Structure 1
């Protein structure tokens, strides 16, 4: 079990279902404010998606990311900022084998396009993120004919871009084969030490939120790796406890779960507070952003 645990708060996500919560932040100001509240509640890392303020739907507009990062940086709280770079991998198919177009959901793009907002912010040099996500495999996301595609060479390209930018990749692992790839690339020197891995459980049809499976995956990681896991919906808090027990960090937030209890909508700060209670009740301490930077070998902001 870890002595100091990093809590990440995934603030809003990109799924339209999140917007049914009255606490779902939508505008850049709302997203930044919710992130700041989560940090004050105990999160060291905030994982950021943005939404179109008019449609409330997922967006990858660099201007929206810039405003969110600016507001967090200028709020006075010390936070590690983690931007998603996973959008741009979905491919929809028809039953007769045709790849469907953008008007029917396909958003497949190059790895560089998926990271355009991160590249722009780093090149501008003023509102620079610390971490960005890198999805590490191809997966059937739920029912129907939707697949998320991230090939080994896409992952290599993402890692190359991260290294050039000085941004640490958080490796999103949705199934055991994804982790196999991460470990292989780490052996190749593609990822710097410590490799940062997020084990994403209970996402259909990836890996289930199962403590035996989680332990087996953790046992394959390099000794120097830093890792966290999360569960979706009602499995969010049980996975907090399992992660701490197995020596990992944790992630909570509205991206993965809308409820504090049955029928009771949560805020991000409330979910972080609940996770903090679990972490401390298990005898561990919650890492500050400064301590988290040391653990993850991040640059000082």
Structure 2
């Protein structure tokens, strides 16, 4: 059947100070996505960053510029836009005085999708896929909590469906995967599920082979799934996921290094994943082949 590779090119974490080549501007992010596609990625997963500060941004016009630059390049790649923003609650040390502290960024469910609405106003910019983080969780062992309760996920799923975008259902622990099944049972999601197993994030499921197996066992039988682990486990999990019949994700959002002490770039991480897959006797799917596998339509020019 073959394996598709997703490249998560920049993410939203504060990694700019930790890596000299994190893509920040729309042009840098678009160029990174194009290079990843040429290296073998069928899908690019996009966040936007503030060009001045390097921090994550949910500005719809930044997303529009990034997607426009990619599409104008005539690079055949599937665009997957992040919707995992505006759910950050940073707790204070004095909750009796004030609950939410600096860094908190919270919006209602439909407001979190403003950038999707902007992209869908122009057929050329409409993404084929967007992410939906399927539950709340602690991020790390500090004061950050990501909030995505069922009362938010249900209207978000409905709105994404109304836009005609396929959701990539991000699951960080088994309870999230159970809620995915519940949303399908309630008719909120339709079609064959596309699920991303997100492993190794502090506060979520650990990056262990038996955990990957548990996720696979609990996922709906008709699912197409992909998996990634962060940091030094990213490349280790490529053959593990492929061996279980899944697809893979790499990129600077999840891992900054190609080898110990050697900074990676998105295209070099994709190239390494391609080599690992082919070294197992597998094949790497193109964007066109991945669209066919996922039932996606190629965007209008």
TM-score normalised to the size of structure 2?
0.96
**What is residue 60 of structure 1 aligned with on the other side?**
58
**What is residue 290 of structure 2 aligned with on the other side?**
292
**Divergent runs of 4+, >3 A:** 98-101
Q: SS of the residue aligned with 1:286? A: coil
Asked if 1:138 is matched to 2:136, the reply is: yes
**What is residue 253 of structure 2 aligned with on the other side?**
255
Matches of 1:35 and 1:274, distance apart in 2: 16
Matches of 2:123 and 2:158, distance apart in 1: 19
The superposition leaves residues 69-99 of structure 1 with CA deviations (integer Å, 9 ceiling, x where unpaired) of: 0010011210100010110111122234355
Q: What's the C-alpha RMSD, in Å, of the aligned pairs? A: 1.2
Matches of 2:198 and 2:167, distance apart in 1: 15
Check conservation: 1:18, 1:255, Cα contact below 8 A: no
Matches of 1:17 and 1:40, distance apart in 2: 24
* 1:214-233 aligned within 5 A: 214-233=212-231
Q: Structure 2 vs 1, CA of residues 143 and 227 (structure 1 numbering), >3 Å: closer, same or farther?
A: same
The superposition leaves residues 133-191 of structure 1 with CA deviations (integer Å, 9 ceiling, x where unpaired) of: 11100100012221101011211111101111001111110111000100111222221
Matches of 1:203 and 1:75, distance apart in 2: 34
Matches of 2:103 and 2:296, distance apart in 1: 36
Q: SS of the residue aligned with 1:177? A: helix
| Residue of structure 1 aligned with 2:201, choices 200, 203, 211 | 203
Matches of 1:100 and 1:24, distance apart in 2: 33
**What is residue 38 of structure 2 aligned with on the other side?**
40
Q: SS of the residue aligned with 2:183? A: helix
My pick for the range that moved more, 144-153 or 227-236, is 144-153
Matches of 1:241 and 1:19, distance apart in 2: 30
**What is residue 83 of structure 2 aligned with on the other side?**
85
Matches of 2:180 and 2:186, distance apart in 1: 10
Check conservation: 2:16, 2:54, Cα contact below 8 A: no
The superposition leaves residues 82-138 of structure 1 with CA deviations (integer Å, 9 ceiling, x where unpaired) of: 01011011112223435544x611111111111110111102333111111111001
Provide structure 1 residue ranges, at least 5 long, that are not aligned to the other structure: none
Q: SS of the residue aligned with 1:4? A: coil
Check conservation: 1:240, 1:250, Cα contact below 8 A: yes
Provide structure 2 residue ranges, at least 5 long, that are not aligned to the other structure: none
Instruction: Give the drift of 1:217.
Output: 1.4
| Residue of structure 1 aligned with 2:269, choices 268, 271, 286 | 271
Equivalenced residues, count? 298
Matches of 2:221 and 2:298, distance apart in 1: 24
| Residue of structure 1 aligned with 2:24, choices 20, 23, 26 | 26
